[in-house]
Amino acid sequence: MNEKYSEIINSPHPQSQKHEPMDKGNRAAQFAPYAALSGYEDAVDETARLTDGRIELDEYEKERINATLTELIYSQNARATITYFRPDERKNGGAYITVTGELYRIDEHTRSLTLVGGYSIPIDEIFDVKMCKNQTNSDEIV
């Protein structure tokens, strides 16, 4: 055995008179890995998040949507189910959202339609519009 450690090698482990010994769980936690790259997990999650691509409508579909919107304007208490594209704020693409509600107004200046309750939809992002058959409580689609 090495001579220079001979006087301490068999001596008892020093214990503090003021502090309780740390339990094994807390002692292990002080050596746990830390987030050396803060924000890295969020960046990976954001990259992995999927978005849909925008589907371009042909002229026939655009005219069908315009005809349905015109019909909605002239119908009283008109309810419709509208699917539109909402662009993602952080990356390319977005998501298709479907809402059902009663038309409140169409604003030609901002090119948006508003449902009762204040939900606003950009007209240029509308993918599909279907009028609801029963205008009362049911949302049966025509």
pTM above 0.85, yes or no: no
CATH topology of domain 59-131: SH3 type barrels. (2.30.30)
Check residue 54 and give its pLDDT.
84
pLDDT at 118 over 70: yes
Instruction: Tell me the per-residue pLDDT of 91-111, one tens digit each, with 9 for 90 and over.
Output: 888 899 999 999 888 888 999
- The DSSP-derived string for 33-62 is ---SSTTHHHHHHHHH---BPPPPPPHHHH
Structure confidence at residue 139 as a pLDDT band (50, 70, 90): very low
3-state secondary structure of 123: helix
